[in-house]
């Protein structure tokens, strides 16, 4: 099985990583909808939210709290939206949680992913 996110997790595909622990990684979306668009991805291959177990779910939302603080502080944003796609709107069939600062308030990314990554990486 060739899965883009599994390849990012095992290191064969590059990504702009801003968070990692033993269960999840947080990376910059390569095609951001807004500045600071981050994807939080479980390290085990879970196809979609219907396969998601409660331990992983809890962990993803705990990590999201930390990432939300980081995104809002470092990028000076006043709002954030957490979003999970399913069905035809889920492009990559490995579950991922979108973190979208000022989603709806700002309608497009204004900075390049590299510029935002410089602010968010450790
Ligand atoms: Zn995968």
For the four alpha carbons of 43, 60, 76 and 106, in that order, the dihedral sign comes to positive
pLDDT for 107: 84
| Cα 90 to averaged position of ligand 1 atoms, centre (Å) | 13
Quick one: pLDDT band at residue 87, thresholds 50, 70, 90?
very high
* Residue range 10-27: mean pLDDT, rounded: 97
DSSP H helices in the chain: 4-9, 54-74, 113-120
44 vs 56: CA distance, rounded Å:
9
| Nearest by Cα to 110 from 37, 27, 38, 39 | 37
For residue 4, the CA-to-ligand 1 centroid distance in Å is 7
Domain of residue 104, CATH code = 3.30.428.10
- Sign of the torsion formed by the C-alpha atoms of 102, 54, 120 and 10: negative
Q: What is the mean pLDDT of residues 65-90?
A: 97
Question: Cα(38)–Cα(10) distance, rounded to whole angstroms?
Answer: 19
Compute, in angstroms, the gap from residue 77 CA to the centroid of ligand 1: 31
Query: pTM for this one?
Result: 0.94
Tally of domains in the chain: 1
| 122, pLDDT greater than 70 | no
Domain span holding position 88: 4-120
């Amino acid at each position: 099985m060739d899965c883009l996110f599994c390849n990012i997790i095992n290191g064969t595909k590059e990504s702009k990583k801003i968070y990692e622990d033993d269960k999840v990684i947080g990376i910059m979306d390569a095609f951001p909808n807004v500045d600071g668009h981050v994807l939080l991805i479980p390290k085990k291959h879970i196809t979609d939210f219907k396969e998601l177990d409660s331990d992983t779910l809890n962990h993803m939302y705990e990590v999201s709290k930390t990432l939300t603080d980081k995104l809002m502080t470092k990028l000076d944003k006043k709002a954030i939206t957490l979003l999970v796609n399913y069905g035809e709107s889920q492009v990559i069939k490995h579950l991922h949680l979108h973190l979208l600062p000022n989603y709806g308030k700002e309608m497009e990314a204004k900075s390049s992913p590299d510029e935002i990554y410089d602010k968010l990486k450790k």
